[in-house]
Amino acid sequence: MSIPQLVTTAWASAASFRGTDKRGGANGARIRLAPQKDWEVNNPPELAKVLPVLEKVQQDFNNSQSGNKKVSLADVIVLGGCAAVEQAAKKAGFDITVPFAPGAPTPRRR
């Protein structure tokens, strides 16, 4: 995965947040579902490449854990964006840490 792919996917996931009713955003990883995955602004062909890779990361992590320790796809998307921003800054000569707080749920598909 490239830095631009991870950053734009995380941005697209978060960009649907509405301050008026506090809905949308990264929670639920709704970027993987219609209608968000099909919005032109979210670059559907690119999402179709990136999301399966991130879903595999989630699946591999979850399958390697015991008990109830699981990661949501929403968290994988956001963490990928955070890591990509840190890498981009490092390549530009800056050492930064992008804060990350896990806990974004990913509801089951219906």
Residue 36 is part of which domain span? 3-91
- The tens digit of pLDDT for each residue in 15-54 reads 988 889 888 889 889 999 999 999 999 999 999 999 999 9
Per the domain annotation, does 108 fall within a domain?
A: no
Per the domain annotation, does 96 fall within a domain?
A: no
Per the domain annotation, does 109 fall within a domain?
A: no
Per the domain annotation, does 61 fall within a domain?
A: yes
- Select from 104, 95, 6 the least CA-distant residue to 49: 6
Per the domain annotation, does 100 fall within a domain?
A: no
Per the domain annotation, does 63 fall within a domain?
A: yes
User: Which CATH number do you get for residue 75?
Assistant: 1.10.520.10
Question: Is-above-0.85 flag for pTM?
Answer: yes
Helix, strand, coil abundance in the chain, percent, nearest 5: 55, 0, 40
Number of domains present in the structure of the chain: 1
Chain-centroid distance, C-alpha 13: 6
- The tens digit of pLDDT for each residue in 47-78 reads 999 999 999 999 999 999 998 889 999 999 99
Per the domain annotation, does 103 fall within a domain?
A: no
